[in-house]
């Protein structure tokens, strides 16, 4: 992990600092600890962007929990020939009767998360909630419930702390606005 901008470029503009992320993660960790005390908590990280957030978040939680991961195809990915959203890596655990918390790096259009929630609901969890590090209300197309929000950001393209551009910049310790070529 590094704070240094990996390459010399003027394309990165820090919008959320490392310190701010640390404080927010701690705050959310505490809140989730309080809310889920005594519950059968399963955190589901949505690959791949949310992994850094998920790990740091769970390190700030003082209750027992299980972790699993899920991945769904994105609109426009070359590899997807079916032309429709699919789960590309499914859960290993059963979530029936569990208190599920989906952990996302960013929620913007709500399309991806909406599909995910519809799918998870069919597995009969006892409860289904969402925690996201970044929320972009300005880009929302469909309503989705988001129970824990780290930061509200405007309609810009960001990288860092798990978020990538062409697989790069995930390991930045801050969130930056990225000027795409």
The verdict on 155 binding another protein (CB under 8 A) reads yes
Closest CB 27 distance from another protein, rounded Å: 28
CB proximity list for 17: less than 8 A, separation 6 or greater? 174
Among positions 75, 96, 127, 145, the unique one binding another protein when judged by CB under 8 A: 75
The verdict on 139 binding another protein (CB under 8 A) reads yes
Strand 158-159 to 175-178 pairing: antiparallel
User: For tokens 């790096």, what's the residue?
Assistant: 105
CB-nearer residue toward another protein: 63 or 72: 72
CB proximity list for 95: less than 8 A, separation 6 or greater? 42, 44, 68, 120, 123, 124, 125
Among positions 9, 77, 92, 122, the unique one binding another protein when judged by CB under 8 A: 77
Strand 12-16 to 158-159 pairing: unpaired
Q: How far apart are CA 26 and CA 58, in angstroms?
A: 9
Q: Which of 92, 108, 164, 179 is catalytic?
A: 108
The verdict on 132 binding another protein (CB under 8 A) reads no
Angle ∠(35,40,46) on CA atoms, nearest 5: 85
Please say whether the beta carbons of 60 and 29 come within 8 A. Answer: yes
**Using CB under 8 A, which residues numbered 84 to 103 contact another protein?**
84-85
- Which range of residues in 28-36, 39-47, 76-84, 121-129 is near another protein by CB under 8 A? 76-84
The verdict on 166 binding another protein (CB under 8 A) reads yes
The verdict on 13 binding another protein (CB under 8 A) reads no
40 is catalytic: no
Q: Which residues bind another protein (CB under 8 A)?
A: 74-77, 83-85, 108-109, 111-112, 114-115, 138-143, 155, 157, 165-166, 180
């Amino acid at each position: 992990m590094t704070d240094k901008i990996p390459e010399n470029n003027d394309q990165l503009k820090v919008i959320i600092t490392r310190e701010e992320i640390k404080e927010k993660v701690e705050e959310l960790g505490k809140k989730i600890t309080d809310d889920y005390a005594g519950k059968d908590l399963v955190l589901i990280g949505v690959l791949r962007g949310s992994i850094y957030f998920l790990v740091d978040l769970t390190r700030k939680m003082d209750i027992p929990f299980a972790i699993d991961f899920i991945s769904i195809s994105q609109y426009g990915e070359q590899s997807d020939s079916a032309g429709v959203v699919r789960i590309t890596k499914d859960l290993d655990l059963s979530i029936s009767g569990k208190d599920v918390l989906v952990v996302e790096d960013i929620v913007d259009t709500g399309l991806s998360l909406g599909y995910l929630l519809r799918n998870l609901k069919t597995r009969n969890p006892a409860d289904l909630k969402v925690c996201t590090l970044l929320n972009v209300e300005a880009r929302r197309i469909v309503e989705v419930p988001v129970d824990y929000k780290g930061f509200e950001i405007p309609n810009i393209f960001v990288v860092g702390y798990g978020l990538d551009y062409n697989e790069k910049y995930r390991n930045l310790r801050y969130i930056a606005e990225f000027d795409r070529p």
